[in-house]
Amino acid sequence: MKSRRDFLQRAAASALALPFLSSFKTEQYNPEAYGKQYQGPILRVAIMGLGSYGSRVAEAMKDCKQAKLTGVISGTPSKIKDWQSKYSIPEKNCYNYENFDNIKNNPDIDAVYVITPNALHHDQVIRVAKAGKHVICEKPMAINAQEGQQMVDACKKANVKLLVGYRMHFEPKTLEIVRMRKDGEFGKILFFQGLSGFTIGDPNQWRLNKQLAGGGAMMDIGIYSINGARYMVGEEPIWVTAQETKNNPQKFKAGVDETIQFQLGFPGGAVSSCLSTYSMNSLDRFFLNGEKGYAELQPSTGYGPIKGRTHRGELDQPHVTHQTVQMDEMAGIILQGKQPIVPVDGEEGVKDMKIIDAIYQAVQSGKKVELKL
């Protein structure tokens, strides 16, 4: 398997996308509302980085009601030409990495979705903010918390919004578990387990390049278990311990983690045990345990359909293409000030980066690292 994208795409092979409900909330799902006309403002989006995931987002946006693809930014002229033809994008809305600052003069673009290698996010997001456009940044938002905070500060200074591509924050079964936890249906939360991993392929890809990726499996797939622990438990962790295993140092060179087990402690007493790896397949599972019940998602973060159950039975919320929901909901956040059930702002991304920084610190020191998020 070549990459996380391939892993998630394979998990999505049987998915059937439904039309998007613009006002969707898990606890208020109304099948009759599907397909209704949307009369509100449209978020006009340029995608930066026209790789496999950028293509997935573009395809999903065809079904959006509140967001529309209107521009592209790429360093590959042939990709720009292909996207122009496929998505009817005018020449004046096409940019490369040298001239995209000129979007500041383009009224056809309200926001840029940055989908490039991790180490490029910091400078690109800041440039977009200086151009006066809102930013959606794919996760991880940066390669460390310091860079992430600089991105947040730059967007605040420019008076633009910064969102991070946390598509699972809008996923129906995930939100149903969050609702049940908030309503006390699991009782006191005791334990969370997150398993995130697959066997990565091409050893020459950018995800195994420390300079571009900022790390290894933890940056790419482990962040799902980090973020999932936070929204499933419903608290911010206060300490972390971690252990690294590296069986293939030729493929996973210095600074590129192969497998890390990590543990998080929460102020209410709950603990989590998580695994992040590039060397094992079939790892995509969340499990939440409380005094009164439990919840399980497997697959938990693939493109869908997500499958889940709780002590009350199977979860049957509908599958909707994740990126379609994400982009419509983010349009509502940017243009209408909507408040998501689980945050997707830059501050949310910085918290995950602080935990990743602490995990790497714990691996190196072998000691428990205190967290202050």
Residue with tokens 């929901």: 325
Residues whose CB falls within 8 Å of the CB of residue 216, separated by 6 or more in sequence, listed in order:
207, 208, 252, 255, 256, 257, 258, 278
Q: Which residues pair with 287 in a beta bridge?
A: 193, 296
At 278, list the tokens: 């590039």
Handedness of CA 119, 125, 126, 127 (dihedral sign): positive
The catalytic residue among 95, 113, 133, 139 is 139
The catalytic residue among 95, 113, 166, 224 is 224
Asked whether the beta carbons of 264 and 223 are under 8 A apart, the reply is no
Asked whether the beta carbons of 207 and 3 are under 8 A apart, the reply is yes
Q: Which residues pair with 279 in a beta bridge?
A: 199
Report d(CA 210, CA 214) in Å as an integer. Answer: 5
224 assigned to active site: yes
Tell me the backbone φ, ψ of residue 4, rounded to 5 degrees.
-55, -35
**Sheet of 43-48: strands edge to edge?**
94-95, 67-73, 43-48, 111-114, 134-137, 162-164
For the chain, give me the number of helices (H) and strands (E)? 11, 15
Asked whether the beta carbons of 26 and 176 are under 8 A apart, the reply is yes
303 assigned to active site: no
3-state secondary structure of 172: helix
Nearest to 113 by CA among 47, 66, 64, 161: 47
Handedness of CA 298, 195, 342, 186 (dihedral sign): positive
DSSP 188: S
The residues carrying an active-site annotation are 139, 224
